[in-house]
Structure 1
Amino acid sequence: MSSFENGLATAPSPTTRSSSSTSWEKKTAPPHTKTLRWVNDKRGAKKSRCARERRDSESNLSIASSEVSSANVADVSEEPTSIDTEPDYTPSALECFGEFSLITAPTELLSAQERVLFQHFSERVAPVMVVLDSVSNGYRHIILPLACQDQVLGRAVSVVAAFHLAQQAPDLAPIAEAGHRAVVEKLRRDSLELEPNQLFNPYTLATILVLLVGDTITGASNYRYLLEMLACLMRLPESVYMLPGSVRAFFMQQVKMFQLFGLPLSDVDKGLQIMSTAPEHYLEFMDYPEIAPTSEQFMNLQLMRSAICDACEIYRNCADPSSFSPAVSVDVIERLRHKVIGLDSFSKGAHALVWTYYIAAAESVSPEHREFFTERLGSLYQYTRFGSIPAALQALQTIWNRRKARKWIEIIMDDAPILVM
């Protein structure tokens, strides 16, 4: 039985922190015919067509998020149903990727509720999930078009947007939670009924990534199970390698990003394994080759990369008993503080340092360091509105109160399992 099946069977609701496990028997079902369709795009096609289609796709999602109410998103909680045949979509290349075009359902097929939630995901969630928001933001220009094709992925996007909106409209929270349970249940059922070559596809990979985004918004502990699912998908990479290069690169960058920020907070051994690899291997999500090396933004990106590497060193020093040194941690924390002191919450891309500040704050012993990093976390929350940050700030109080008896990493594993990023 794969870890993927275990993870789907045991994943709790967003507001539940549980480590219970259940076994599920693997069953088979007739193959589905729904596929991800790619068509060759003539090399001579004009770039203006791609830009026009991108503008058209965005204009179709132009319902203001302020119109959202609990009545607007009531259908988020409905359980997704399986689709046994490929929808008869009218081909509409919403996005162009090199010599390929992604064929998606026209946004006219989305309900009004979905358009509202997709728009919120595009405007408020997608920018936070990349370091620098641009036309190449894969959460907007890859995930959303895919979500127009696949009902489960579309529901996951709607649920995550509803979770984010629930901070201003609390009535949405129970609706989003019900929708989340429906998506997880659908994935669990598919894991029992479908063959691996049907289950492990780009839609499933995208759905798990979106659900991980949801955990950073809610501060829930489902990410442990989701990371296990992600690991299983990566052991069957055919569905990823069949994708066009730029799309495949986006998926791989995001997988590595969640591994870097998620695994060290879920399992010490896996965390040390991640840290044994050069951090640059996991920092591809910070690659922006279009930025000039002489620009201020390029220098800031290099600074943020270095800061993340410092946090990795702090983690290794704490987690590895053979190399633990309090003096080393103090020195690295001060070096990190000095390095990022010029990057405030208004600096482009600074939200990429949430995990870094959390690690540094957890290890800090001096009031000055604790105050600095918690203030930075609070400031970034004002930008991201991701609930994992206030959950992390609350967890830090627990960590500092108990760290004389236990390492902060152990406290996080047992008492504060949060995907902080």
Structure 2
Amino acid sequence: MSTKKRPYVPKTKGCYPCSRRRIHCDRTEPTCHKCAARGLQCTGLGLKLRFPYGAPVSVSTISEAPGTSHLSRPNAFRANDPAFASRSSYDQTFPPEVLHGFGSTEHLPPSVSLSNGDISHSTTSSSQQHVSKDLSSYSAFGASVELERHETSLARFNQIGGIPHIPAEITPLWKRIMCKYFSDNIAPEMTAIDGSHNEWRHLVLSLAQTDNLVMDAVVTVAFYHLELNKSTQAHKRTKCELSATRSDLRDPNEMYNRVIQGLRSQPGLNSGNVNIKISVSITILILFVGAMVTGGSDFLLLSRMLESAIEAMGGEDKLPRVYASDFIKNQNHKIRIYAAPLLNERRGLQFISSQTHKEQLFNSLTHRLLDYPEHSPTMMLVRDLVQQALDLYIAQFDYRTDDQASEELGNMTSIIRVQHFKETLEAFPQGAPGERVLVWACFIAASASILDEHKEFFEQILLRHQSRNGFINILEGLECLRRIWSRTSQERWTSLLAQVNVLVM
């Protein structure tokens, strides 16, 4: 009796996310319906390869021809890019004048340049050519362990914060590497105390796992920072990790345009969708960090976008009652005061002289102090220094520049105030928690400096900050300070501060 041969069943029955969830995959390409319905990133069909990190990579992804891209400047976002050509329903939320020209190159720093060879992928990777002797024995297993620890920490936070947990393996490996880079090199710079409660790490990166728009913004900013800090060990190590993934390295400019296009494609913020409100607000905040990293002037438009977004949601009081809303409010309170003097004098005086806004700023700087009571002494110094910087700004409006006696009295008062700030800062333990959030206060004190010894002191302080964080905004800020220091006697430094066009904080 002859036996009928069973039909061949392929080993790969569906995409990897469906396989992990142990559900039937409809095998639709490029994205199956199950993944599309849940908002997951479908890996498609085909054999999966596993690298030492454990993440699946499709054969079709590896075999794609490497893309070529050119990055003339870190934020040379072309105004004629298709991402800016079309308008969508999101423009109903942001007024046309807010989005018009967003990302143009008119006010970009010409000194920042990235070469094409650093971001395009080839068989002989440029990152491999630049790996130093210190990394010659670099272990992929060691990198895998660090990545696993980082993602385990995020998973633990997801459980506490009620954020849906998505298995890390579903996210492409190169994105996981860039999230780890963001966690190590950018998140610590954005908070007073870097610890287990750093929301730029545990909240933002946790949301990025489930939100493509937030993820795109995170990896865009991470790539900019990576390419602008080529001499660091972190750059060389990360380039080596990315090279091991054998996936094409991305052009940050194109990724930035993609984020802006993603913002525009969102429905109106006056809808009741909580996820959209949180996603858009946090994405804009991440782009603020990008403006700091690249030293670009996009923060001017980002400020208007953030204001429009919060207004469209009905104001801060109407933000959803979720954990992420507190984070959005605290960041908005900081940006609102720090950016105000850089917009114009009237706005700067309005916000800095407001006791309500000042208290909101101080609360945003110290809101995690209960979790770290041992850092109370240094955080009180932080509050004192920020208060002194605010007083320095307000004091400039007490004196007239067209009256010699008033001008001389104002100069003497500034010298005394700046000296007091300098002495307080010198008493601050170098490297202590809170030091990283003093950049704005030091920049304001430097702007008010008249004596050469004060100018030299603050220049060295700001260079030390820049050496640590690698943010180009500080270098651009120093260039602006030199113009402020060479002002005429008829000019107030507060008026010149409004011409800085770079967010120094």
Q: TM-score range by the shorter chain?
A: 0.7 to 0.9
Q: Which residue of 2 aligns with 1:196?
A: 270
The alignment's TM-score, normalised by the length of structure 1, stands at 0.74
Q: Is the 8 A contact 1:131 1:351 kept in 2?
A: yes
Q: Is the 8 A contact 1:201 1:239 kept in 2?
A: no
Distance of aligned partners of 1:105 and 1:144 in 2 relative to their CA distance in 1, 3 Å threshold: same
Equivalent residue for 1:8, pick from 86, 93, 99: 99
Q: Is the 8 A contact 1:8 1:187 kept in 2?
A: no
Separation of aligned partners in 2, 1:291 and 1:154: 29
Distance of aligned partners of 1:110 and 1:200 in 2 relative to their CA distance in 1, 3 Å threshold: closer
Look up the SS of the partner of 2:486 in the other structure.
helix
Separation of aligned partners in 2, 1:238 and 1:343: 34
Q: Which residue of 1 aligns with 2:377?
A: 299
Equivalent residue for 2:302, pick from 226, 251, 269: 226
TM-fit CA distance, 1:188 = 3.3
Q: Is the 8 A contact 1:163 1:217 kept in 2?
A: yes
Equivalent residue for 1:347, pick from 413, 419, 432: 432
Look up the SS of the partner of 2:203 in the other structure.
helix
Separation of aligned partners in 2, 1:213 and 1:143: 12
TM-fit CA distance, 1:364 = 0.6
Distance of aligned partners of 1:404 and 1:174 in 2 relative to their CA distance in 1, 3 Å threshold: farther
Q: Does 1:363 align with 2:448?
A: yes
The one-letter code of the counterpart of 1:283 is F
Separation of aligned partners in 2, 1:336 and 1:257: 20
Provide Cα deviations, 1:330-384, integer angstroms capped at 9, x if missing partner. 2211111111112254222211111111111111110111111111111111211
The one-letter code of the counterpart of 1:59 is E
Separation of aligned partners in 1, 2:497 and 2:316: 35
Equivalent residue for 1:175, pick from 233, 248, 251: 251
Q: Which residue of 2 aligns with 1:417?
A: 501
Equivalent residue for 1:284, pick from 359, 363, 375: 363
The one-letter code of the counterpart of 1:220 is G
Structure 1 range deviating more: 120-129 or 321-330: 321-330
Distance of aligned partners of 1:370 and 1:139 in 2 relative to their CA distance in 1, 3 Å threshold: same
Separation of aligned partners in 2, 1:313 and 1:239: 29
Q: Is the 8 A contact 2:158 2:165 kept in 1?
A: no
Q: Is the 8 A contact 2:192 2:365 kept in 1?
A: yes
Provide Cα deviations, 1:361-413, integer angstroms capped at 9, x if missing partner. 11111011111111111111121111111111121112212344532233232
Q: Is the 8 A contact 1:105 1:149 kept in 2?
A: yes
Separation of aligned partners in 2, 1:126 and 1:394: 26
Q: Which residue of 2 aligns with 1:136?
A: 197
Separation of aligned partners in 1, 2:291 and 2:268: 26
For residues 199-278 of structure 1, the aligned pairs below 5 Å read 201-235=277-311, 236=313, 237=315, 241-244=319-322, 246-278=323-355
Separation of aligned partners in 2, 1:144 and 1:320: 45
For residues 145-184 of structure 1, the aligned pairs below 5 Å read 145-169=206-230, 175-184=251-260
Separation of aligned partners in 2, 1:217 and 1:305: 25
Structure 1 range deviating more: 271-280 or 333-342: 271-280
Separation of aligned partners in 2, 1:231 and 1:182: 22
The one-letter code of the counterpart of 1:389 is I
Provide Cα deviations, 1:196-249, integer angstroms capped at 9, x if missing partner. 3269600000000000011111111111111111112322247963233x4332
Q: Is the 8 A contact 1:224 1:266 kept in 2?
A: yes
TM-fit CA distance, 1:155 = 0.5
The one-letter code of the counterpart of 2:158 is E
- Quick one: higher RCO (CA 8 Å, sep 6+), 1 or 2? 1
Structure 1 range deviating more: 383-392 or 402-411: 402-411
The alignment's TM-score, normalised by the length of structure 2, stands at 0.62
Q: Is the 8 A contact 1:272 1:320 kept in 2?
A: no
Separation of aligned partners in 1, 2:462 and 2:281: 29
Q: Which residue of 1 aligns with 2:132?
A: none
Separation of aligned partners in 2, 1:111 and 1:60: 17
Structure 1 range deviating more: 281-290 or 254-263: 281-290
Separation of aligned partners in 1, 2:146 and 2:157: 6
Q: Is the 8 A contact 2:291 2:297 kept in 1?
A: yes
Q: Is the 8 A contact 2:94 2:309 kept in 1?
A: no
Distance of aligned partners of 1:300 and 1:140 in 2 relative to their CA distance in 1, 3 Å threshold: same
